[in-house]
């Protein structure tokens, strides 16, 4: 499908050489034929008006009109009264060239898809974001449109530090905040700095985001070491037995089990870091969305000397904004700033100012309250549906975030259950594949509800009710 350019004069690259001896009209005709034959101009694509093209090339309008008329006569162009001149579809076709391969179609689940780790993009506060962008463009000084500080706009860093002190109990000022292009960049920057400082192994939670974490560690030149998680969070005693001097944890809401790192484990982990001269990297994801428990403060607030905290607005607002941050001890800030400068010279400045405006205005908090209410309703819908269709199966991990863990009876084949559900139009995802070394405690499903509307949750659970009943320990075989 051709791109539909707006306006009467979409630009077209044509060069006219007035000293080559060839006629001006023949040069224009030849270049336009070549552009159509080689596919630079697609079938159906609109050309500039004769007036606009003549003005751009410094030619008479009559010459351009004659050129268009000749190419129409030859079948290269088409035109109708009152309509723009366009490339003829037949002339632009290239039968000798194979058609481009179609991208693989995404998996479709007709009834419901319980995928995890994603927010509902329909809740993105588009009007609030548009308002914030307008405010920035209206009020920002001219200097805001220049290259900014590579570690972030000072205003956003000040706002983030104050906001995170208030809602996450971090212990940091604006000078400790580095604005990043999302969580992935923040983690990559930290790992490269730690590797350059001689840390050659990164421990991570098992189960957890093993594939992405391993990739980041390897890219930084570090080994990736899985450490088991139990009901109290990361097993610090097991961490002690590894050679790692850095560890990546999700203490507020462990991914994917949903457990909170217990108070005594937090103290043990901090003691480990100080004793070993190590660094704790805190992924503070999902901290905004909690339901029936007291808030859990950031680990960084307990030990700002040895904790790097990572955050993002990907779930609170939308992943497309590509805005995140890290809070680091003072000794790491210099290398992190240099790494950020080399990586991209700084995240988009106007978007940073828009985020600062959104937070300061109170619209960010209001959006979070609305989103939290919606996710809480979906959580209750999921629990109610499971209570009806699978009352004997235990559900955990629901105190925060966008997903729950459904515990299946021992001996249940996760993969077979997932395949049977797929045939019924329901997307399910198992826990076993999230383990790297540790053996799963039992078969489990990770049921995401962040991007699954309430009706789809009800319909999806109902569609697999028979499968869940067969898996139930109360099922009479």
Concatenated DSSP letters for 173-222? -GGGEEEESHHHHHHHHHHHHHHHTT--EEEEEESSSHHHHHHHHHHTT-
- Average pLDDT of the segment spanning 129-152: 96
Check whether residue 53 and residue 190 sit in a common domain. no
Residue 476 lies in a domain: no
Domain harbouring 193, CATH code = 3.40.640.10
What percent of the chain shows pLDDT beyond 70?
Answer: 93
Which string of DSSP letters, residue by residue, matches 221-268? T-EEEEEEEETTEE-HHHHHTS--SEEEE--SS-TTT-PPPPHHHHHH
What integer pLDDT is reported at residue 333 of this predicted model? 96
Question: What local confidence, expressed as pLDDT, does residue 436 receive?
Answer: 86
Residues 418 and 406 in one domain: yes
pLDDT at site 195: 97
Q: Tell me: pLDDT of 364 over 50.
A: yes
Residues 364-376 have a mean pLDDT of 94
pLDDT of residue 8: 54
pLDDT-based confidence at residue 35 (cuts at 50, 70, 90): confident
> Do residue 206 and residue 268 come from a single domain?
yes
Taking 60 as the threshold, does the pLDDT of residue 1 lie above it?
Answer: no
Determine the Cα–Cα distance for residues 335 and 328; give it in Å rounded to an integer. 11
Question: Does one domain contain both 440 and 334?
Answer: no
What are 244-302's pLDDT values in tens digits?
Answer: 999 999 999 899 998 999 999 999 999 999 999 999 999 988 777 877 667 788 999 99
Is there a domain that residue 477 lies in?
A: no
End-to-end CA distance of the chain: 56
- Whether the pLDDT of residue 441 is over 50: the answer is yes
User: Do 29 and 158 sit in the same domain of this protein?
Assistant: no
Task: Answer with the one of 337, 365, 393 that is the final residue of a domain.
Answer: 365
DSSP 36: H
Are 200 and 332 members of one domain? yes
Interstrand relation of 395-396 and 403-407 (parallel, antiparallel or unpaired): antiparallel
Over residues 226-231, the mean pLDDT reads 94
Residue 430 sits in a domain whose CATH number is 3.90.1150.10
Which of 341, 365, 389 corresponds to the end of one domain? 365
Q: How far is CA 1 from CA 4, 7, 89, in A?
A: 9, 19, 11
**Is there a single domain that holds both residue 193 and residue 268?**
yes
Neighbours of 208 (CB within 10 A): 25
> Is residue 61 situated within a structural domain?
yes
User: Is 6 inside a domain boundary?
Assistant: no
Q: State the Cα angle at 449 between 165 and 424, rounded to 5°.
A: 165
Reported confidence tier of residue 223, pLDDT bands at 50, 70, 90? very high
Q: Tell me if 41 is assigned to some domain.
A: yes
The model's confidence at residue 476, banded by pLDDT at 50, 70 and 90, is very low
Do both 358 and 379 map to the same domain?
no
Q: Identify the residue with better confidence: 441 or 417.
A: 417
Range of the domain at 331: 125-365
Q: For residue 106, what pLDDT is reported?
A: 55
Assigned domain for 352 exists: yes
**Same domain membership, residue 261 and residue 233:** yes
Of 348, 365, 382, the residue at which a domain comes to its end is: 365
Partners of residue 112 on adjacent β-strands: 426
Mean of pLDDT over the chain: 90
Structural domain includes residue 459: yes
CB atoms within 10 A of CB 301: 18
Please give the backbone phi and psi of residue 250, each rounded to the nearest 5 degrees, phi first.
-120, 75
Number of domains into which the chain is organized? 3
Whether 1 is in a domain gets the answer: no
- The single-letter DSSP state of residue 424 is T
3-state secondary structure 38-97: CCCCCCCCECCCHHHHHHHHCCCHHHHHHHHHHHHHHCCEECCCCCCCEECHHHHCCCCC
CA pair distance 154, 158, nearest whole angstrom? 6
Q: Which pLDDT value is given to residue 477?
A: 42
Per-residue pLDDT of 84-129, as tens digits, reads 888 888 877 555 555 555 555 555 788 999 999 889 999 999 999 9
- Do 380 and 315 have their domain in common? no
For residues 248 and 380, state if they share a domain. Answer: no
Q: Give the pLDDT confidence of 162-212 residue by residue, as tens digits.
A: 999 999 999 999 999 999 999 999 999 999 999 999 999 999 999 988 778
Structure confidence at residue 154 (pLDDT): 97
pTM: 0.84
Looking at the structure, do residues 261 and 351 belong to the same domain, yes or no? Answer: yes
Query: C-alpha distances in angstroms, 316 versus 114, 255, 320, 346, 355?
Result: 19, 17, 11, 22, 12
SS3 category, 310? strand
Q: What is the pLDDT, as a whole number, of residue 210?
A: 74
Closest alpha carbon to 249 in 233, 271, 262: 233
> Would the pLDDT of 6 be above 80?
no
CATH code of the domain in which 86 resides: 1.10.10.10
Q: Specify the higher pLDDT residue, 8 or 74.
A: 74
């Amino acid at each position: 499908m051709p791109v539909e350019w707006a306006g009467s004069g979409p630009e077209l690259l044509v060069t006219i050489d007035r000293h080559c001896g060839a006629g001006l009209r023949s040069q224009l005709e030849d270049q336009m034929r070549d552009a159509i034959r080689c596919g630079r101009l697609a079938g159906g694509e609109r050309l500039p008006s004769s007036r606009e093209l003549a003005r751009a090339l410094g030619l008479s309008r009559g010459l351009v009109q004659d050129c268009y008329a000749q190419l129409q006569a030859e079948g290269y162009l088409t035109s109708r009264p009152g309509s723009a001149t366009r490339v003829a579809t037949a002339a632009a076709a290239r039968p000798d060239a194979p058609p481009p391969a179609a991208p693989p179609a995404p998996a479709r689940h007709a009834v419901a898809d319980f995928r995890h780790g994603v927010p509902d993009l329909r809740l993105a506060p588009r009007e609030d974001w548009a308002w914030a962008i307008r405010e920035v463009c209206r009020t920002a000084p001219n200097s805001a449109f220049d290259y900014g500080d590579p570690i972030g706009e000072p205003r956003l860093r000040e706002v983030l530090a104050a906001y995170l002190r208030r809602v996450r109990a971090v212990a940091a000022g604006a000078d400790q905040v580095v604005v990043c292009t999302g969580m992935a960049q923040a983690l990559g920057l930290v790992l490269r700095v730690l590797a350059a400082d001689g840390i050659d192994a990164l421990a991570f939670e098992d189960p957890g985001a093993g594939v992405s974490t391993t990739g980041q560690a390897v890219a930084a030149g570090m080994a990736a070491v899985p450490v088991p998680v139990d009901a109290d969070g990361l097993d610090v005693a097991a961490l002690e037995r590894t050679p790692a001097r850095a560890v990546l944890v999700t203490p507020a809401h462990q991914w994917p089990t949903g457990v909170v790192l217990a108070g005594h484990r937090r103290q043990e982990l901090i003691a480990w870091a100080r004793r070993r001269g190590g660094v704790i990297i805190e992924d503070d994801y999902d901290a905004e969305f909690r339901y029936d428990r007291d808030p859990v403060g950031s680990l960084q607030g307990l030990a700002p000397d040895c904790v790097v905290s990572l955050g993002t607005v990907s779930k609170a607002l939308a992943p497309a904004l590509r805005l995140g941050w890290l809070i680091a001890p003072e000794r790491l800030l210099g290398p992190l700033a240099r790494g950020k400068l080399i990586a991209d010279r700084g995240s988009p400045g106007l978007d940073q100012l828009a985020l600062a405006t959104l937070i300061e205005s109170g619209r960010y908090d209001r959006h979070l309250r609305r989103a939290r209410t919606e996710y809480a309703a979906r959580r209750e819908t999921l629990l109610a549906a499971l209570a009806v269709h699978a009352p004997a199966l235990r559900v955990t991990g629901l105190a925060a975030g966008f997903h729950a863990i459904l515990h299946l009876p021992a001996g249940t084949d996760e993969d077979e259950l997932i395949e049977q559900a797929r045939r019924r139009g329901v997307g399910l995802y198992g826990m076993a594949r999230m383990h790297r070394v540790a053996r799963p405690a039992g078969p489990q499903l990770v049921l995401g509800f962040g991007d699954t509307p309430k009706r789809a949750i009800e319909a999806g659970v109902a569609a697999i009710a028979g499968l869940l009943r067969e898996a139930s320990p109360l099922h009479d075989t």
